[in-house]
Amino acid sequence: MRLDTSFDQASSRVVYPSTVRGGTLRLAVTDAPVSLDPGDVGLAYEADLARLYARSLLTYAAAPGSAGLRLVPDLAESLGRPSDGGRTWTYKLRPGITYEDGTPVHARDVKYAVARSSYTAQLTHGPRDLRDALAGKYWGPYLDRDLDHFTGVTTPDDRTVVFHLKRPDYDFDQLAAGPQTAPVPRAKDTRTDYEKHPMSTGPYQFARHDVGKGFTLVRNPHWHDDPNRAALPDRIEVTEKVAAADLDARLGSGALDADLAGAGVQPATRTTILGAPAAKARADDPTTGLVHYAALSTRVRPFDNLHCRRAVQYAVDRTAVQRAYGGPTAGVPATGVLPPTVTGYQAADPYPHDVARARQELAACGHSSGFTTALAVRGDRPGDVAAAQALRQALGQIGIDARVTTLSAFQWGSTAGSPAYAHRHGLGVLIDSWAANRPTGYAFLRPLTGAVAKVNNPNLMELRDARVNRFLALGARTPDATRRAQRWTEADRAVMATGAFVPLLTEKTVLYRPPALANAYVHPVYGMYDYAALGLRTKARTSASR
């Protein structure tokens, strides 16, 4: 059989399939995880990693490509059973599941996990989607120790967990797949210190955790094989706060097996890899699910006029924007709101690059000679800064003077993310990026188009569109998955019809697989390698070390 040396193999298939157990998987990250507490996980790589030691009610199929978007049972025996028109969801736990110390997992542990992750002031890094969805009011287990007062989740017996929702949501299984449903025994909860040693229900448990330095995972003797985790290495070593250039060098030398954050190699390393056929064959270029975009504030003149917004849409040269971000391996030009990694995505291009049409729209909005506006961008994102210049040049061709304002990353939420600030400083165009915390059109669209917050406002467009809201609400009430996804598509189209969301680039990133890595594939939900699947080719590692 001829060896496949094509680029980006692991985005669509398993590279070097293996069932061989043994060895130490070595990972590193340039910073440190914000939290390893399953109830406080907010980043994609933290959620990917958490599956090694925390089993949620559901999870995603262990497969590359679109197959990996399929929900499958994990801690639960089956997908959720809806009733009451989608307002009630019931899950039955598998029998015999235990923690690392051999004590059994009970339904009340799942209830407690949801309570602490969603209703406390101490755990703030993870999404609060469950809290937003669940019925009833509750102060949280750290203020109200009577868990019976938490009526959003009930446990009729030791193996049954019932979620009671404020409104119908037939996408609720997606929430049940989050790390926040991984059980936590109340007696072991040390609040913010729990991340130092979460009680494992997965194939690995913590043997060491020096917060800010690194940690070691070893096999959990009480874990039983499950179809969702290959769990091939005997040991996993993670080193934190490794300089980016050093991390790339370790990958290239084979001293490291993967970049934990899945952020991709540095630009210089990428150029080197893509220029060497042997190295390129061990590189992947997956779609991450992140979309770079420009929001046009509908409350800042003249972008309160639809035609002025459309003028920008037609003026954008997305090929130039792609070059600004780093070229084809950095991403593909985006033409809609949703990325291809979420349900509801359907390719469309309602605003092709058309300078003549852009000028017509300018005339229709009463600014045939153009106008001046401020274009805000975060200074810590070189790609966004370069894209801002490309966008400024494109708008200049039709007479729009977009004056670039670079804002601090630390103050972004109180400047660009503050409608009052945006109005006061005339920030008509704001470049940002967005990724959903679960792979559905609703999860991607709702924050971008929902309630307008006074600070840290994700709805930079300040969009209040009845059609968008109607499609999202209809989708949540639609039991059939295919029809539900179509509602997300319609919501995407409705957002684009407002002209307020200017898609720029669907992000891709170059990952490198050292020769010793086996059973490697990119999981579409996380946009990086599936850490629960990775194994080692010991002969390749031995050869590399000589």
Distance CA 545, CA 265 (A): 22
DSSP letter at 453 equals P
3-state SS class at 104: strand
User: Is position 149 within any domain?
Assistant: yes
Domain CATH for 429? 3.10.105.10
Query: Phi-psi category of 306—alpha, beta or left, where left has phi over 0 and alpha has psi -120 to 50?
Result: alpha
Provide the β-strand partners of residue 237.
26, 216
> Is a pLDDT exceeding 70 seen at residue 264?
yes
> Is a pLDDT exceeding 80 seen at residue 539?
no
The verdict on 392 and 348 lying in the same domain is yes
So what's the pLDDT on residue 533?
Answer: 97
Which stretches of 397-535 are DSSP H helices?
Answer: 419-424, 441-449, 466-476, 481-498
> Is a pLDDT exceeding 90 seen at residue 47?
yes
The verdict on 275 and 325 lying in the same domain is no
User: Is position 452 within any domain?
Assistant: yes
- Boundary (domain end) residue, out of 196, 230, 257: 196
Show the domain range for 357. Answer: 287-508
Cα angle, residue 265 at apex, residues 262 and 266 outer, rounded to 5°: 135
- Boundary (domain end) residue, out of 142, 173, 196: 196
The verdict on 450 and 332 lying in the same domain is yes
So what's the pLDDT on residue 546?
Answer: 44
The verdict on 304 and 435 lying in the same domain is yes
- Radius of gyration, CA atoms only, the chain: 24
Average pLDDT over residues 251-269: 95
Distance CA 10, CA 513 (A): 9
User: Is position 314 within any domain?
Assistant: yes
User: Is position 211 within any domain?
Assistant: no
User: Is position 380 within any domain?
Assistant: yes
User: Is position 298 within any domain?
Assistant: yes
So what's the pLDDT on residue 538?
Answer: 74
Sign of the dihedral through C-alpha 277, 278, 279, 283: positive
The verdict on 248 and 338 lying in the same domain is no
Question: pLDDT digits over 332-375, tens only?
Answer: 999 999 999 999 999 999 999 999 999 999 999 999 999 999 99
The verdict on 36 and 179 lying in the same domain is yes
Domain CATH for 152? 3.40.190.10
| Of the listed ranges 167-176, 224-233, 305-314, the one predicted with least confidence | 224-233
3-state SS class at 300: coil
> Is a pLDDT exceeding 70 seen at residue 534?
yes
The verdict on 303 and 248 lying in the same domain is no
The verdict on 354 and 276 lying in the same domain is no
Q: Which residue has the higher pLDDT, 447 or 4?
A: 447
Statement: the pTM of the whole predicted model exceeds 0.85? yes
Structure tokens at 42: 């907010």
Question: pLDDT digits over 363-402, tens only?
Answer: 999 999 999 999 999 999 999 999 999 999 999 999 999 9
Question: pLDDT digits over 7-19, tens only?
Answer: 999 999 999 999 9
So what's the pLDDT on residue 187?
Answer: 96
The verdict on 344 and 247 lying in the same domain is no
Average pLDDT over residues 277-306: 96
Structure tokens at 44: 């994609």
Average pLDDT, the chain: 95
pLDDT above 90 coverage of the chain, percent: 95
Cα angle, residue 311 at apex, residues 308 and 313 outer, rounded to 5°: 115
Question: pLDDT digits over 28-37, tens only?
Answer: 999 999 999 9
The verdict on 314 and 303 lying in the same domain is yes
> How many structural domains compose the chain?
3
Residues 6 or more apart in contact with residue 431 via CB below 8 angstroms = 292, 293, 294, 295, 375, 376, 377, 378, 384, 387, 388, 391, 504
- Boundary (domain end) residue, out of 196, 222, 252: 196
The verdict on 266 and 324 lying in the same domain is no
Question: pLDDT digits over 133-152, tens only?
Answer: 999 999 999 999 999 999 99
The verdict on 99 and 110 lying in the same domain is yes
User: Is position 395 within any domain?
Assistant: yes
So what's the pLDDT on residue 540?
Answer: 60
User: Is position 333 within any domain?
Assistant: yes
